[in-house]
């Protein structure tokens, strides 16, 4: 049986970890993008860091809303509001796109896709 040599796991400073976590929480990067960009080895390393620094409510749920700290200034809050407004606008456009797509499909295919509000619920 061959002895496999394990690669030494790199150690990251707390400031590095916190910087990565903040970029993920602020929406600048996804966890996977951050992992690739910074060469972080483990698939769950960043999630563990988020838990360690209090950016997750529990082990199953990430919470971007739990990221506010007492030192958040007005400029950061304004930036966050602009970011959330942009996300809201994107979701409104996506919703309108889907509604239009369903309407066109119903008209072109001659079938009912949307459930009418006056129908009885199925058993």
Q: What is the mean pLDDT of each run of 10 residues along the chain (123 residues)?
A: 68 89 89 91 87 69 45 83 93 91 89 73 59
Alpha-helical regions (H) of the chain = 14-25, 31-38, 45-52, 74-109
Supply the pTM of this predicted model.
Answer: 0.42
Tokens of 37: 């960009």
The reported pLDDT for the residue numbered 3 is 64
The reported pLDDT for the residue numbered 112 is 85
Nearest residue to 55 via CA among 34, 12, 26: 26
The reported pLDDT for the residue numbered 57 is 56
Residues sharing a CB contact under 8 Å with residue 31, sequence separation 6 or more, in sequence order: 24, 46, 47
The reported pLDDT for the residue numbered 42 is 82
The reported pLDDT for the residue numbered 41 is 83
DSSP classification of residue 56: B
How many angstroms separate the CA atoms of 49 and 109, rounded?
50
Four-residue CA torsion sign, 39, 79, 52, 57: negative
């Amino acid at each position: 049986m061959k002895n496999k040599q394990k690669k030494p796991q790199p150690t990251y400073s707390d400031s590095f970890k916190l910087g990565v976590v903040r970029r993920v929480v602020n929406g600048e990067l996804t966890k996977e993008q951050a992992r690739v960009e910074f060469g972080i080895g483990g698939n769950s390393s960043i999630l563990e860091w988020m838990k360690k620094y209090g950016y997750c409510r529990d082990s199953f749920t990430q919470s971007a809303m739990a990221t506010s700290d007492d030192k958040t200034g007005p400029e950061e809050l304004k930036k966050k509001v602009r970011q959330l407004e942009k996300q809201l606008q994107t979701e409104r456009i996506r919703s309108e796109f889907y509604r239009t797509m369903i309407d066109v499909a119903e008209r072109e295919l001659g079938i009912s896709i949307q459930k009418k509000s006056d129908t009885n619920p199925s058993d």
